[in-house]
Amino acid sequence: MQRIAAWRIAALMAVLVIAHPSLPQQHAFQQVTSKDGLAQSQVRTIAQDGEGYLWFGTLGGASRFDGEYFSNLALQDGLPDAQVSAMLRAADGAFWMGAGNSLVRIIGRTLRTETLPAESKGARILGLARSGRTRIHRHGWRRALRARCRKAFTRWSATLPIRLRMFGPYCY
């Protein structure tokens, strides 16, 4: 009987030692604004490129953060649209951005805008994702969207060096 009681006490002590409250990990967050160098304060997307830089897509362009300073891309730097709503790092090292209705490819310091079909005019790129095939989805007229949203989407396939899936505006 005493052996069972001693065993229970030892088990209880082991549980208490294991369950000792540990200090929670403290996370350090720092808010950054345009005063700190961000292109614009409304951030739409964040991604990390192959070199480890953080990119922020904003309503006023794209900002690259090196851990200390921001460098910005805007219309005057070659962006086709100030609103950057999507970003994706590709396996081949390229960095892609959805800027308005345009697809921008960055390799090193070279910025190149990919031509999209004329029928995609008016649609906005809201997301980029890797997939098995390259597709760009966009919606038709709003009237058609209200009636049958799924059928209003059209597809455009292109040969690009990476595989992307892009989504146009969602149904309203």
The larger pLDDT score, comparing residue 154 to residue 4, is at 4
Fold entry, domain 36-167: Methylamine Dehydrogenase; Chain H (2.130.10)
pLDDT at res. 65? 94
Q: What are the two backbone dihedrals, phi and then psi, of residue 39, each rounded to the nearest 5 degrees?
A: -55, -40
Closest CA to 149 of 157, 158, 140: 140
The Cα 172–Cα 169 span in angstroms is: 9
The Cα 51–Cα 33 span in angstroms is: 23
Q: Is the pLDDT of residue 105 over 70?
A: yes
The larger pLDDT score, comparing residue 78 to residue 29, is at 78
pLDDT at res. 171? 36
* Residue 73, Cβ density class (10 Å: 0-12 exposed, 13-18 middle, ≥19 buried): buried
What is the signed CA dihedral for 148, 117, 60, 46, rounded to 10 degrees?
70
53 contacts: CB under 8 Å, gap ≥ 6: 64, 65, 66
72 contacts: CB under 8 Å, gap ≥ 6: 37, 38, 39, 61, 62, 63, 64
Residue type at position 56: F
pTM confidence score:
0.65
Which neighbouring-strand residues pair with 48?
Answer: 54
The DSSP letter of residue 105 is E
The larger pLDDT score, comparing residue 133 to residue 101, is at 101
Assign 8 a pLDDT band (cuts: 50, 70, 90): confident
The Cα 111–Cα 152 span in angstroms is: 32
Model confidence pLDDT, tens digit, residues 34-61: 999 999 999 999 999 989 999 999 999 9
